[in-house]
Amino acid sequence: MVNKNLLLAWITSIIAMGGSLFFSEQMGFIPCTLCWYQRILMYPLVIFLGIAFYRNDKKIYLYVLPMSVIGMIVSSYHYALQKIPSLNEFATCTSGVPCSGQYINWFGFITIPFLALTAFTIITITMLMMLKKK
């Protein structure tokens, strides 16, 4: 029987990884420091969730949940740096590409960190649903 929560989490991680690679490799957007941290947290989830889906591992939330929650925190902070100008004095990106930069700004609120936050949130919710079913 297919675990729909696990499949949704895995597909979400694949789309997030593919999107980040598209933005950097095809569009030429250089990732900032916080973008790299989000990638470090998202990319392994593709492998973990893929293996868990194949093996129908219902305890994968033990490994994925901490990474997705930390990813949500980093993405939220990054998004706040972009949308709240007064936070820029506390920015962690001091060299290279500024973390407050916005390569995309669709509809006035959708930026790359927002997309990452959405993906981490979907994965977190699916893992919490698996935990609840336990």
pLDDT of residue 3: 92
pLDDT of residue 89: 73
Name 95's Cβ contacts closer than 8 Å, sequence gap at least 6: none
pLDDT of residue 72: 98
Distance CA 129, CA 73 (A): 20
Higher pLDDT, 1 or 87: 87
The stretch 11-16 carries a mean pLDDT of 98
Query: pLDDT per residue over 59-112, tens digit each?
Result: 999 999 999 999 999 999 999 999 998 887 766 676 678 888 899 999 999 999
Task: Say which residue the tokens 């962690």 belong to.
Answer: 92
Q: Which CATH architecture has domain 4-133?
A: Up-down Bundle (1.20)
The stretch 99-128 carries a mean pLDDT of 96
pLDDT of residue 123: 98
pLDDT of residue 59: 95
pLDDT of residue 100: 87
The stretch 20-49 carries a mean pLDDT of 96
Distance CA 16, CA 8 (A): 12
Angle, helices 33-55 vs 4-21, to 10°: value is 150
pLDDT of residue 92: 65
pLDDT of residue 97: 84
pLDDT of residue 27: 96
Helical segments of 56-97, H only = 61-83
